[in-house]
Amino acid sequence: MATSHDYEGYLEARPRYYTTTTSPFGNVRSQDNTPFSNPVSNAGATLGRVLFYDVRLSANSSISCASCHIQKHGFTDPAQFSTGFEGGKTGRHSMSLTNATYYTPKNFFWDERADTLEEQVLMPIQDPVEMGMNLFDLEVKLAATSFYHGLFEQAFGDEAITSQRISEAMAQFIRSMVSYQSKYDQAFAVGEWNDPDFAAVFTEQEMEGHKLFSGFPVGRQASLGCIECHQTSAHTMDQAHINGLDADTSSDPGAGGGFFKSPSLRNIAVGAPYMHDGRLKNLMDVVEFYNSGVQPHPNLSPDLRRNGSPTGPPVRMNLDQEEKEALVAFLQTLTDESFLTNPIFSDPFAE
């Protein structure tokens, strides 16, 4: 049914800073959530890809996982809120799946309500707004679809179709969605961040933005340190935090008290709108929010308080327009055009 691709080879080709215990931005390997019991295999990820794009996973066969996680948008949704199988709207913006393999355990969804990726992938399928499907009915539905028998046998050794196998295959496919061929990666391929060869890959503006992002002094700016919340080469964080979107977080407490997950910044430039509620429409809006709009909150992250004080007022970065544009320019270097068009992640039903 679907073209088989070399997912194992794609992951093996990850740069060394994805696979070693040392990296310019910290140990990303330790964040890999791939369980020993469910490693990515070519057959498993191939099945997962078909399931991901199959509208049969919704109750009325109208939408798929890919309806709200679109490849060219970094596997997020350009709509502020996604449309479910009966036209209802989700309560939060669709989070990007890029680099989801580096979301640490107990760290899935904006509110971190799922402990594993295997658990996470089944929740939207059963959600009454999103896909509205009962898992038993899904097993029956897929068993009545002839091409799935061979795909499950190739992935698991026999034709049995179970919700556990569905979750394992989809998790394998999503774990293969690692972005590592951006301009940013091209720079690290030739040198470390203090190497002239590294800087030569970037424009002067992009390099200034990189320094601002990473916390290096740039002119009058002592440090921004965006990297504190978007760590490692995967640009992810291993815990939820409060970033000061609202002084009152009671309307959506997230993981509790207003805490929300920080997603990966890979392919962020194609993933608008931003934040858990999609309120910020473009990257300049995001930069301006952190520059001047962070709201006070009792549990505001210390990284967003002046001088890192646990009780201080929200930081005000006081970036000028040139510096804000430089920061946006750097964030655009995280776009991986190859990832956004790679056929191993594309719709198998369009082949």
Could you list the residues known to form a binding site for heme c, using ranges.
65, 68-69, 226, 229-230
- The dihedral region occupied by 267, where left means phi > 0, alpha psi between -120 and 50, and beta the remainder, is left
105, 93 in Cβ contact below 8 A?
Answer: no
- Cβ atoms 345, 49 nearer than 8 A: yes
- Binding site: which residues? 65, 68-69, 226, 229-230
Q: Which residue, 10, 69, 38, 122, is CA-closest to 346? A: 69
| DSSP letter (8 states) at residue 305 | B
Conformational region of residue 258, where left means phi above 0, alpha means psi within -120 to 50, and beta covers everything else: left
Partners of residue 76 on adjacent β-strands: 70
Q: Based on C-alpha coordinates, what's the Rg of the chain?
A: 21
Which tokens belong to 240? 């939820």
Amino acid at site 273: P
Residue 56 CA to residue 262 CA, distance in Å, equals 31
β-sheet bridge partners, residue 305: 314
Which residue's entry shows tokens 């996604």? 82
